[in-house]
Amino acid sequence: MHRGVDAMDRSKIAEVKRVVVKVGTSTITYPNGKINYEKIEKLARIMTDLQNQGKEMILVSSGAGAAGVGRMGLEAKPASIPGKQACAAVGQGILMHIYERLFGEYGQVVAQVLLTKSDMVNRHSYANARNALQEMISWGVIPIINENDVVAIDEFKIGDNDNLSALVASLADADLDILLSDIDGLYTANPKTHPEARLVSVVEEVTPEIEATAGGAGSKNATGGMLTKLQAAKNAMSAGIALIIANGEDLEILRKIMRGEPVGTLFVPRESHLRFRNQWLAFGSRISGKVIVDEGLAKALRQKGGCSILPVGITGVEGSFESGDTVSVLDQEGHELARGMTNYNAEDLDLIKGCRTSQIEEKIGYKHYDEAIHRDNLVVL
């Protein structure tokens, strides 16, 4: 099912089978926050038409909060967390009713799926969510997915639907993830402040320079909302999934994308899909801490696509974690390179950082492993 997408040949996009479409609040509401029925009707028609062509479509939709604000007659979304959650509770039912009615006009069955990060943390829950999603798709149903904002707490919040869509694409073994919002794609700089900025058509690697341009570490020219999209792109690319960022103002762009026309920005996936275990490790498991590595090890991770992390290459340890927890591996500038399962807890790892393998037992009184993180338990992003 999974077909490679060549950076130089977008026509291969037309061959993909399973597609996640993420729509932002701005795509399906008016500037005053009220629901844009015309846009949602068009979205339902186009996605159903693509489904009828033999594609397997999945929708990740924002807009529940905005729908709740509108129904309650509020001037703006509440500032408090309980207020936001109450709005989402009111709005989710409204939004789903609209989707059910408009997709139903074209004979398409849809299903509501609400996810939280906590559903992803436990490997068994992750597998259950994956199996349920796969079953719906096999039935010809279009799942409509949102984060369960009503019960999500900050600690277990995915936080944005860009990253949720990449997580869903990985869960569902999708071939393509399309992020539709109010921006045309990735630019060389913020087009609002730099008129000379150019749209980037194809990205084969999300470099620290690209992240900085979009609002990463040390950037003064952040593009609104682009950083979460780049995080989603990195996750999708690592999972072997193509991702396209495009402007959802005119939803006909969906057909153009599926025909392989050069619209938006295409992020080219790595060749192979992650094995299920590594998929969960990279996108499902809870990140319990951070490990900072030196330039040499960072370079090796980028060039080799993965290697074991020895204590000698570690320069810093942040957070409180135990052996077996998942940690984020960062370079000296704070860019995330990989995620992996650590063999040592935070306290011991802090004591042996910078040490040779032969010094581990001398420092902490035992040595169960030579590696801080073994290559088999590491996913490079």
226 appears as a binding residue in the annotation = yes
14 token code pair: 């037309």
225 is in an annotated binding site: yes
> What span, in angstroms and rounded, lies between the C-alpha atoms of 7 and 244?
12
Residue 172 near residue 239 (C-beta atoms within 8 A): no
Q: What is the 3-state secondary structure (H, E, C) of the chain?
A: CCCCCCCCCHHHHHHCCEEEEEECHHHHECCCCCECHHHHHHHHHHHHHHHHCCCEEEEEECCHHHHHHHHHCCCCCCCCHHHHHHHHHHHHHHHHHHHHHHHHCCCCCEEEEEECHHHHHCHHHHHHHHHHHHHHHHCCCEEEEEECCCCCCHHHCCCCHHHHHHHHHHHCCCCEEEEEECCCCCECCCCCCCCCCCECCEECCCCHHHHHHCCCCCCCCCCCCHHHHHHHHHHHHHCCCEEEEEECCCCCHHHHHHCCCCCCEEECCCCCCCCHHHHHHHHCCCEEEEEEECHHHHHHHHHHCCCCECHHHEEEEEECCCCCCEEEEECCCCCEEEEEECCCCHHHHHHHCCCCHHHHHHHHCCCCCCCCECHHHEEEC
Please check if 224 is assigned to a binding site. Answer: yes
> Is 181 known to sit in a ligand binding site?
yes
Asked if residue 227 belongs to a known ligand binding site, the reply is yes
Q: Is 182 annotated as a binding residue?
A: yes
What does the alpha-carbon distance between residue 243 and residue 350 come to, in Å, rounded to a whole number? 37
Is 223 annotated in some ligand binding site? yes
* Binding positions: 22, 62, 149, 161, 181-182, 223-229
* Binding positions for ATP: 22, 181-182, 223-229
* Binding positions for substrate: 62, 149, 161
